Amino acid sequence: MSAIPTRTNEEWLAELSAEGPLRDAALADLRVVLTNGLRRGLLGQIDTNAPEFDALIDDFAQEALLKILENLPSFAGRSLFTTWANKIALNVGLTELRRKRWRDMSLDQLTQTEDGEYTPSFVADPAPRPEDQTERRELMAYVSRLINEELTDKQRTALTAAVIQGRPLSEVAYMMGSNQNAVYKLVFDARQRLRRRLAVDNLSPEDVLASFADA
């Protein structure tokens, strides 16, 4: 494997904000940086010899990349960009390892039912209380409508496959006849569109999903 080119903070920001091959190369290099950092940072937190370790690291790096792209404007330059990025990735990894299933849910954990409605995955297991059923149905319909109205076909496909169904990005890229970096961009843009629409309606992902939590 070839060495990752050395970049200044300014070069990282410029290339990750660019379009085309320059951005693709920066994303690929940053993914390697994050993967290596996660492997070191999670020692002692998880069995690194477990069969699922590589898949977990890949998932954490994917999630961290999206968070980093979302938060590029907040990088103040008081440390190396890679140090800042690795802290985000490690926080993602530790949070995912610690959190309980019904807590800290996000809009990204919506699942699609067979009839096409998008439902929080933790709602699909226990039956809701009778008094909650109407509100839950309304919220499910609301979220389903947002996904169908706000996203392009490609964004909806990428979000559903990569985030909701949890398929590897390489598989999603192959399925879509694209590449992993393009899938990253589609998922990132889809999340941003959904969050902006929720904000217009004076809601957040937490507001919506809190209505599904057990009292």
pLDDT in tens, 190-204: 888 888 888 887 777
Q: Does the model's pTM come out above 0.85?
A: no
Say how many C-beta atoms besides its own lie within 10 A of residue 116's C-beta. Answer: 9
Tens digit of each residue's pLDDT (9 = 90 or more) over 139-166: 777 777 888 888 888 988 888 787 767 6
Please indicate whether residue 56 or residue 68 has the higher confidence score (pLDDT): 68
Annotate the chain with DSSP letters as a single string: -PPPPP--HHHHHHHHTS-THHHHHHHHHHHHHHHHHHHHHTBTTB-TTSTTHHHHHHHHHHHHHHHHHHTGGG--SSS-HHHHHHHHHHHHHHHHHH--TTSS--GGGEEE-TTS-EEEGGGSSSPPPHHHHHHHHHHHHHHHHHHHHHS-HHHHHHIIIIIIS---HHHHHHHHTS-HHHHHHHHHHHHHHHHHHHHHTT--HHHHHHTTS--
Amino acid identity of residue 195, one-letter, is R
Please state the φ and ψ torsions of residue 147, each to the nearest 5 degrees: -65, -40
Identify the CATH class of 9-98: mainly alpha
Output the average pLDDT for the chain. 76
Q: Considering the domain delimited by 107-210, tell me its CATH architecture.
A: Orthogonal Bundle (1.10)
- Spell out the domain ranges in the chain: 9-98, 107-210
Topology match between the domains 9-98 and 107-210: no
- The whole-number average pLDDT for the span 119-138 is 52
Distance CA 178, CA 23 (A): 15
The 10s digit of each residue's pLDDT in 58-74 is 888 988 999 899 899 99
